[in-house]
Each structure stands twice: as structure tokens, then as C-alpha cells.
Structure 1
Amino acid sequence: MKNIFLQLFYADAILELAIPLFLPEFAELRMITKPLLLILLMGHIVMENPKPALFFTAVFALLGDVFLMLPDSPLYFQLGLGSFLIMQLSYIRLFFRQASEHAWIPVHARKPLVGILIYVFSFLAFLNPYLADAMKIPVTLYAFALGSMLYFAIRLNNRMITWGAFLFVVSDSVLAFGKFYYSFPGISFVVMSTYIVAQLLLISALCKLQFKK
């Protein structure tokens, strides 16, 4: 019974990834399989480590998923982006609470910090010409929040959390590339596979930690 939510999550994840590839005629099923991913991870949180802060993070991840599934419109995209922004800030807060109380920028995170800043500025510079004026500020804020989440994950020095954060950056970068510049065949699989693994790693790792006050 302890792992029932994870077992269901794995089954749902396989179905979510398989539908676009092998069952495109049943694409509407993703209206169920996609939000069910976070619902099952929320069940896993309740079973493993029922901390309100972690559950709050998952709730906004779920809201982001739901808004981005709705008919394509600037409003729904901005609501989805806003939900994911709150989720990223919540992850940052969770990582910060777990991090060492030593140097603000520990030695092992100094080089990655430079790399993250270069990547964020470069990617924003690339996307900027393709962004509508109304999207430039929201996308910029989210990009820096995403980069900060990766930095604080690296600072935490936990392998599962670092890989989860890195895959989250990959997923969101590919999503932004596809939405604002060029959507290549199979992009949905790349975005969702990296996103699913990212959320699984982050939430599973945080469930194992005893949260500092």
C-alpha cells in the first residue's frame, strides 16, 4: 500500500508518453493522464512526508499543467506560466531551507552559477525577437526563477534534486523553444518525458528529507 501512488504514477506516465506516439486517435485521454501525474505525486507526498510546503508546490504544478492543456490562448498560457512560477519559487524556498548555512555561494556551486547565468541570458536573448510584447516580462521572470531553482538545487548538493532541477530546465527550455520559435516532430515527448522525470526526482527526494524550520 505504501508505494501504490508511485506504482500508479509509473503506469500513468507510460500512458501519457505513449498516447501521442502510438495512440494519437485517443489524444483527448491526455486531458486525464496529464493532470493525474501530479495528483498521484500529491498522494505520494501525503503517504511519505505530508508537509504543507511540498504539497503546496505540487498543487501549483498541477494548476500549471491544467492551464497549459486548455485551448491555446495568451491568457491560459500566462496563467500556466504564473502557476509554474509560484511552483519554482516554492521549490527554491524548500531547497534554501535544506541548504547548508555556510557560504551563500559555496565552492561547488560557483562555476555552475556562472554557467546558469550565461544560459539564462543567452536563451532570453535568442527568444526575445519572437516574443510578443505582453510575454517578454513574464517569460523573463520565469527564466530567472527557473535558473535560480537550478542554482539552489546544485547548492543543496543532493544528486536526485540536482538532476531533477536540470531536467526541469531542459523541459521548459524545449517547451519555450517549441512555442515561440520552432516546434519539431516529437517535441511533446521530449518536453513531457523530461518533465515527468524531473517532478518525480524532485518530489521523491524532498519526501526523504526532514524539513528544517
Structure 2
Amino acid sequence: MQYSWFIGAFYLLYLALILFGFEDLAFYMKPLLVPSLLLMIPFKSVFSAKYKLFYAVLFSTLGDVFLMFRGTLFFVLGLTSFLTAHLMYMMIFKSVRNPIKFNLMYIFSSLIIAVYFCTFLSFLWPHLGPMKAPVFIYAAILSIMLWFAIHSNAPHPFSRFIIILGALSFVISDSMLSTRLFYGTFENAHFFIMSSYLVAQFLLVFGIVKSRISK
């Protein structure tokens, strides 16, 4: 896709600004990061998932903007926006999901996701305070999105692999973000959180468009 290199360079510039301490410049670039992915969506072609993908990008952008500000209200609005974006991704993956077969892959992936969900929530739970319910709901939706990504039936194996990597990167990014917000920060937290987040969004959009999921 012709704009993927431009988007990649744009993301690298943003991450370099964070890494080298130009946080003020990076702050003003942030609302433009995810919308740049719209350049990869073929709106004029026969690709019916493009509207769901557009809304996934839109709500992710809203989530980014809300989380630029401090306060419980902005956090909940950001969480709700990203939850809606995950629902859009789930709808895309669900449209091409294989019929459920209780094979080894199904059992293994479901078990791993469930174990991580329970373990990570148990780790954060004492630190969540009044945010227990919103974080629980969001984490559940994120886990289900990952499950649908793993069990999607994208036409091309490479596209499916890219989609799964994108969903995994989202889980990693949100896990680090939750740790920083509710437990404690760590060295270069902002850089690592945004790196994995941008990789996630890029791979999800790239993989979906590349596979031409059309249902």
C-alpha cells in the first residue's frame, strides 16, 4: 500500500520525539497519528469492511484525544472510545471467523487468553479503586477482540498473521498503560506504550486491508 511507508516514517518521527525528550511537540502530533491510517483504507474499492474500519480509526482517535487530558471523566471517555474501537474490530473479525471447532488451537488460545486476563486483573485489582468496573469491562472486550483476531479466517495467511500480531500488540500496549496508570511508572514507559500501540493500530489496519475482508 502506497502510503504505508509514509505512515511508518511519521510514526518513527513521533517516537523519536518522545525518546529524545521533545514531549511538547509529540503532544501536538498525537491526534494525527491514528487518522493517518485512513490513507491506507481503499474507500473507492469493493471493500465493505471499510466503514467498520473507519469507525475503529475514528473511535481510536477520540480515545487518544481524551487520554491527552487528566481526570477521571477523560479517562472513562477514552476507555469508552477504545472499547468501541475494539467492538468495530471484533465485528470485522467475526464476519470471517471459522465455525467453532473445539480443537487443540481453540482450547489452547482460549486458555492462554483467560489465564492472562485473570492474572493481570488480579495484579491490578487492589490498585484500581473506583475504576474496577470500567477496567474489568474494557479488559474483557480487549481479550475477546484478541480471541476473534486469532480465530479470524482472513483469506491470506500473511494477513492473518499480521492481524494477530496487531491484536497482541494492543494487549501489550494496554497492559503497560494500565500498569503505569494504576501501579507505577517504569523507565521510558511513554515510549514503549506508544511504540506498541502504534504497531498495533498499523498492523490491524494493514492486515485487514491487505486481506480485503469483505463481509
Query: TM over 0.5, yes or no?
Result: yes
- Helix, strand or coil for the counterpart of 1:98? coil
Residue 182 of structure 1 aligns with which residue? 184
- Any idea what the Cα deviations from partners look like across 1:169-212, whole Å, max 9, x if unmatched? 00000000011001011011111111111111110011123334
Residues 79 and 104 (structure 1 numbering): CA distance in 2 closer, same or farther, change over 3 Å?
farther
Corresponding residue to 2:195 among 177, 193, 196 = 193
TM-score normalized by structure 1?
0.90
The answer to whether the aligner puts 1:119 opposite 2:116 as a matched pair is: yes
Q: Hey, what's the Cα distance between the residues in 2 that align with 1:175 and 1:9? A: 23
Q: Hey, what's the Cα distance between the residues in 2 that align with 1:59 and 1:199? A: 12
Q: Hey, what's the Cα distance between the residues in 1 that align with 2:101 and 2:79? A: 28
- Helix, strand or coil for the counterpart of 2:41? helix
State the structure with bigger RCO (CA 8 A, min sep 6), 1 or 2.
2
Residue 60 of structure 1 aligns with which residue? 59
Corresponding residue to 2:134 among 117, 133, 138 = 138
Q: Hey, what's the Cα distance between the residues in 2 that align with 1:185 and 1:35? A: 24
Deviation of 1:30 (Å): 1.8
Q: Hey, what's the Cα distance between the residues in 1 that align with 2:118 and 2:107? A: 17
Corresponding residue to 2:164 among 162, 182, 207 = 162
TM-score normalized by structure 2?
0.89
Residue 103 of structure 1 aligns with which residue? 100
Q: Which amino acid aligns with 1:54?
A: L
Q: Hey, what's the Cα distance between the residues in 2 that align with 1:77 and 1:209? A: 33
What are the ranges of 5 or more consecutive residues in structure 2 without an aligned counterpart? 154-159
User: Aligned pair count?
Assistant: 206
Pairing 1:58-97 to 2, within 5 Å after superposition = 58-70=57-69, 72-97=70-95
The answer to whether the aligner puts 1:210 opposite 2:212 as a matched pair is: yes
- Helix, strand or coil for the counterpart of 2:151? helix
Q: Which amino acid aligns with 1:87?
A: A
Identical amino acids, percent of aligned pairs: 39
Q: Hey, what's the Cα distance between the residues in 2 that align with 1:46 and 1:28? A: 33
1:105, 1:155 within 8 Å by CA — same for their partners in 2? no
Q: Which amino acid aligns with 1:159?
A: F
Corresponding residue to 1:28 among 19, 24, 31 = 24
The answer to whether the aligner puts 1:173 opposite 2:139 as a matched pair is: no
Deviation of 1:122 (Å): 1.3
What are the ranges of 5 or more consecutive residues in structure 1 without an aligned counterpart? none
RMSD between aligned residues: 1.8
1:15, 1:33 within 8 Å by CA — same for their partners in 2? no
Structure in which a larger fraction of residues adopt helix: 1
- Any idea what the Cα deviations from partners look like across 1:81-114, whole Å, max 9, x if unmatched? 00000011111111110112x2265542320111
Q: Which amino acid aligns with 2:84?
A: I
- Any idea what the Cα deviations from partners look like across 1:52-108, whole Å, max 9, x if unmatched? 1111111001111111112x11111111000000011111111110112x2265542
- Any idea what the Cα deviations from partners look like across 1:98-155, whole Å, max 9, x if unmatched? 112x22655423201111111111111111111122x111000000011111111111
